[in-house]
Chains A and B, each alone.
Chain A
Amino acid sequence: MKKSSIIGFVLMLTVCGFCGGVLAVVIGLNDHSLAWLFETVYNWLFSNILAIQIVCFALLFAGSLAIYLVCQRRRRLYAEDYDRIDAKIAPWLDIGIVINSSLYIIMFVLFSLAVQTEIRGWETLIFLIACACAFVMEITYIRLVKNIYPKRKGDPLSIKFSEQWIDSCDELERKVTYITSYKTLNALRYVILGLFVLFMLLGITFPIGVLPQLVLAAIWLFINVYTLVVSRKLSNGENLE
């Protein structure tokens, strides 16, 4: 191990520990005002959940749809000009797909907030409509990608869609997917660790219980175990092609 990497590691631990300590002190000193802020925001969210759902749904769906329409129009304009397709369409397709995924996530969060005490009719309806719209947009995006890149295969309604999709990718596309996944996994580990620390500190002031930490621990454990199992299989030569 290089001296510089040991020094860097110790420095990082010191800085993180210092920041964590400062955060704990700030929360401890201001626990009343923070608790008041948290309760106010929570009550406001809870009272206006339907309006927030509708606004979030409208904004995210409109954004996703607008990007799709722009990509579709450019597809017709650029035809087989793949240099322009890669430069002007592909990045926007990625953004549109992320916005569409965000719609699912935000709707789930808002709906779970809405049904904390009772099942609410209108909120449930908006949630179902939003999820249905996001699902339809997802399939529409996939169809557009398949139209632009005809070699891509996979039925989005099939359970085996992910397998079919990666099987239809060429070696470069697979390499990009695998490197991206690896980097995302590593980033996720840091995010989980950060959230662990954050929830521990928040638990000093707010009665959040241990459920957040348990959920994070379960996810962390699953990631580690699953990574190990998959990498062992691949090391034995299974499914390397």
Chain B
Amino acid sequence: MILKNHLKELRARHGLNQSELADRADVSRQTISLIERGNYSPSITLALTLARILEVRVEEVFELQEEEDS
């Protein structure tokens, strides 16, 4: 199972850049960048915080997908 996210699209919809979203979520810009690239899975607290900021449910930001067998 891998974690996919729609953070970048939702962030753009709200007209926020990475730094602004990071400031609102009280994390570093690098954290937001790595989450968007799929290189870091946030904690539940951070995931819920991001969903609240983007005014969506957390399932709309993050979703679990089956890993594709290569």
Which of A's residues lie within 8 Å of B, judged by CB?
80, 82, 86, 149, 151, 170-173
Complex: how many Å from CA A149 to CA B31? 13
Complex: how many Å from CA A94 to CA B42? 25
Nearest A-chain residue to B18, judged by Cβ: A82
9 A-B pairs with the lowest CB-CB distances in the bound complex, closest first: A170-B27, A172-B31, A82-B29, A170-B28, A171-B43, A170-B31, A172-B40, A171-B46, A86-B30
Which of B's residues lie within 8 Å of A, judged by CB?
18-19, 26-31, 34, 40, 42-43, 46
Q: Verify A172–B30 contact, CB threshold 8 A.
A: yes
Q: How far is the CB of A79 from chain B (nearest CB, A)?
A: 12
With most chain B CB atoms within 10 A of its CB, the pick from A151, A172, A173 is A172
Q: Verify A80–B28 contact, CB threshold 8 A.
A: no
Complex: how many Å from CA A137 to CA B43? 36
Q: Verify B19–A171 contact, CB threshold 8 A.
A: no
**Residue from the list B18, B28, B34 in contact with A149, Cβ < 8 A:** B28
Q: How far is the CB of A188 from chain B (nearest CB, A)?
A: 27
Complex: how many Å from CA A86 to CA B29? 10
**Residue from the list A80, A82, A151, A172 in contact with B34, Cβ < 8 A:** A172
Complex: how many Å from CA A170 to CA B43? 11
Q: Verify B26–A82 contact, CB threshold 8 A.
A: no
Nearest A-chain residue to B42, judged by Cβ: A171
Q: How far is the CB of A173 from chain B (nearest CB, A)?
A: 6
Q: List 17 A-B contacts (CB under 8 A).
A: A80-B19, A82-B18, A82-B19, A82-B29, A86-B30, A149-B28, A151-B26, A170-B26, A170-B28, A170-B31, A171-B31, A171-B42, A171-B46, A172-B28, A173-B28, A173-B30, A173-B31
